[in-house]
Structure 1
C-alpha cells in the first residue's frame, strides 16, 4: 500500500512538472510573438551615479518633494517598512497637493503591499494612482507568474529620471545586518534621458493600468541636451542576451562585470571564453554573501570554466554587492539587469548604455574600489568533491532559469 502511494505521488509530481514545462514553453512562444525590439536613438543627459542607498534616497526624496506637475515611479520592490512608509508618505503628500502621482509596482516583488487592502485604500484615498505590473493571467499562468517587471524607474516632472539597482526597503539603506552595507549603482539623469525613461514608464503603465498617456505632450517637456551620450534600452524578456553578446564580441581590451547573480548561460559563457582567448582581460565581481537560495551554486559551473581560462573572479566581502554593471572597453552599462538567465529570458529590464570617457573613468574608479574590497577566487576554492555543494549545484542547474 505504501509503495503504491509513493508511486502515485511520484507520478503526480512528474505530471505536474510536465504541465509546468508545457505552460512555460507555450507561454514563452506566445510572448515572443508580441514582443518588439527596442531601437532607441542616442540621447544626451547630465548624469550622476550613486553607489550607496542613503545618498541616493536623500537625493531622490528631495526631488520628489520639489515635484510640481507629476511623479511617475516604478519599482520591483517597495516594502512596508520604515523607509517604505517615508517614501509612500511623500507620495501621499504630493498627491494631496495636486501633483499627479502614479505608482507602478511589480505584482510578485511587492506582493505584501498588494495583499494590504488598508494600505492600498489609503494610497488611493490620497489621490495616488496605483497599478501592478505583470499580474498573473491565464492561459499560461506559470509563465506569467515567472515574468517579472524588474525595472526601477522614477520620473519627476519629466525633467529628472532615476534608473538602477536600488529598490525601496530597509536593506537598501543598510538596515539588514546580514546584508550591510548594501552596495549598488543607480543613476540620476536630467535632460533627454528623463524623457526616455518617461516613455518606458508610460508604456508599462499602459499595459498595467490600461490607460494610454504616451501621446499626452504635458508629460514630455522640452529637454535640453546634457553632457553625456547614452542610450536607454528596455528589454521585455528578450534581446538582452543579444545586446550583451555583441558587446562582448566587440571587446578588444577589458570586460568588467558586476552582478549579484552570475548565471550567463551557454552563449554568453562561450562569448566570454572567446574574448579571453583573444587576449581580453575579463574581471567578474560577485557577492560573497548570498541573498537568494542556490544562486551561488548555479554560478559555479560557469565560474570554473572562466577561471580556468584566465578570468579573474572576485567575491565582495564588505557587505552585499547588488550592482548591475558591465564595462566593455569604453562602453559602460548600468541598469536593472542581472547577468543571469532570469534577466535575459524572463524579466522586464532596463539598462543605460553610456558612451562617455569621463563617465567611464568615474565608474571604473568605483568598480575598482569595490574590487579592492573583494577576495580573488581560485579554482581550488570552488572545486573538489563536497557532497552538499554538489547536491545544491545539481538542484541549481535544473532551476537556474527561475533563480
Structure 2
C-alpha cells in the first residue's frame, strides 16, 4: 500500500517548521551571546577638549580632489580606514596613488571593513601588497558568533597623513560619491579635514583598530606622532561601539535648551533616544530634521515613518532632501555644539557599528555649518503629517516589515 501523499506533506511541513525554529533559536543565541561578549570587551574613550583647524567638504568631487592631493604629498606614512572601498575607477585611482607612495618609500597601511568592501578581491590585495602596502580587513565574520559578527561593522572613515593631516566623515570610496550613480546623484555628504593636535587622537584610534585586525602590528611609533601646533577650533572626538553611541546622543539632546537640528540618511532611533527627543520638544526645544527623499536601502525610509509621524504631531519640522541623495550625518545643539562624523541616527550605528564622531564648539565653524544646513533645507521639501497619515496599504505593510527588522537596517 503506497503511503498517503497528505501524510508526506505534513511530515515535510513539520520538518521544515522544526528547522525554522532551530534556526531562529540559533540566531537569537548567537546574537545575544555575541553582543554580551562585545559589551564586555568594549571600552568607552573620548578626548578632552582639543584645538585644531577644520575644513568641511560637502561635495565628493571637491573632497576627493583635495584628499588625493594630500595623499600624493605624503612623505612618511599614510594610514587609511574605510568602511567601503569599491573596485571601480575611483577605487582604482585611490589604489594607484597608494601604490605609488608605497613604492616611493612611504609606509602605507590600509584597513577596510570585510563586508563593506566585499568587491575588493584577493587579486587586488596581492597587487597592493606587492607594491609594499600593508592591507588588513576589519570585522571579519567568524566563529563562534557568525550572525553577530556579520552584523558588527567598522563604519569609521579615517585617514591620517604624516601624522599631520586627518580626514573623517561620511564619504566612502566609490563612484556614487562623485555623482556617477544615476539614482543617487548628486551625493550630499559632510567630510572634515583636520589639522592641529586632534590629528594625534585620530592616529591613536587608527592604531588601536589596526593592531586589533592586522597580522603585522605596529612595532614602532617613530614619526607617527609629530609635534603639532594648537589650532583655534575647540573640539573633541567620540569613538563608539556596542551601544556607547546611544548614551552620547542622549547626553547631547539633554543639553539642548533652544534648538536641535539633525541631518541623517537613516532616522531609526532607539526608544530611549526617541523619548529624549520627545522630552526636548515638550520643554519647548525647536526641532528640525533633514532626511533623504530618495533612499539607497530597502525599508529604511519606512522604518523612519513611525518616528517622524510622532515628531510631526509634536511640532517638529521634517525636510526631505531632493537635490540628489542626502548622506550627511550631523547634530546641531543650540548653535553651540555641532556633531559631524560617521554615525547615522539609526539603531545599527547606535548598537552595532564602530563609529567615530567629532563634537565642535567653535561659533564661527557652527555659523558656517548653519549656512550649509540652510542650503540643504532650501534643496528639500517639507514632509507633512497629512502625507504620512494618508491611507496607504502598501506603505503600511512595508512599515510593519521595517519595524520587525529595524535593528538591522
TM-score bin (small chain): over 0.9
Question: Is residue 18 from structure 1 mapped to residue 18 from structure 2 by the alignment?
Answer: no
> Structure 2 CA distance, aligned partners of 1:377 and 1:119?
44
Give the match for residue 61 of structure 1. Answer: 68
Residue aligning to 1:386: 392
Larger radius of gyration: 2
What is the CA-CA distance between 1:210 and the residue it aligns to? 4.4
Partner of 1:173: 178
State whether residues 203 and 214 of structure 1, in contact with CA within 8 Å, keep that contact through their aligned partners in structure 2. Answer: no
Q: Which runs of 5+ in 2 are unaligned?
A: 1-7
In the TM superposition, what is the alpha-carbon distance from 1:318 to its structure 2 partner?
Answer: 0.6
Count of equivalent residues: 401
TM-aligned CA deviation for residue 214 of structure 1: 8.1
In 2: Cα distance, 1:48 partner to 1:238 partner: 29
In structure 2, how many angstroms separate the alpha carbons of the residues matched to 1:292 and 1:248?
Answer: 27
Identify which of 355, 360, 363 aligns with 2:361.
355
**Aligned equivalent of 1:315:** 320
Relative to structure 1, the CA distance from residue 382 to residue 229 in structure 2 (aligned partners, 3 Å threshold; closer, same or farther) is same
Partner of 1:125: 130
Superposed displacement of residue 139, structure 1:
1.1
> What corresponds to 1:364 in structure 2?
370
Q: Are the counterparts in 1 of residues 136 and 215 from structure 2 also a CA contact under 8 Å?
A: no
Q: Give matches, 1:272-351, under 5 Å.
A: 272-329=277-334, 330-351=336-357
Q: Unpaired segments of 5 or more residues in structure 1?
A: none
Deviation at 1:215, TM superposition (A): 6.1
Q: How far apart are the structure 2 equivalents of 1:272 and 1:393?
A: 21
Superposition CA RMSD, Å: 1.1
Identify the range of structure 1 (157-166 vs 301-310) with the bigger mean alpha-carbon deviation.
Answer: 301-310
| 1:240 corresponds to 2:240 | no
2:147 corresponds, among 119, 142, 147, to 142
1:48 aligns to what?
A: 55
* TM-fit CA distance, 1:387: 2.1
Q: Within 1, Cα distance between the matches of 2:221 and 2:197?
A: 17
Which residue is 2:116 aligned to? 109
Q: Identify the range of structure 1 (91-100 vs 234-243) with the bigger mean alpha-carbon deviation.
A: 234-243
- Is 313-322 or 7-16 further displaced after alignment? 7-16
Secondary structure of residue in 2 paired with 1:151? coil
Please give the per-residue CA displacement for 1:10-45, whole angstroms capped at 9, x wherever unaligned. 332232122101111111111111111113111111
Q: CA offset at residue 391 of structure 1?
A: 1.5
Matches of 2:136 and 2:264 in 1, distance apart?
Answer: 29
- Residue 264 of structure 1 aligns with which residue? 269
Provide the C-alpha distance between the structure 1 equivalents of 2:95 and 2:215, rounded to a whole number of angstroms: 23
Q: Which residue of 2 aligns with 1:79?
A: 86
Q: 1:8 aligns with which of 15, 30, 38?
A: 15
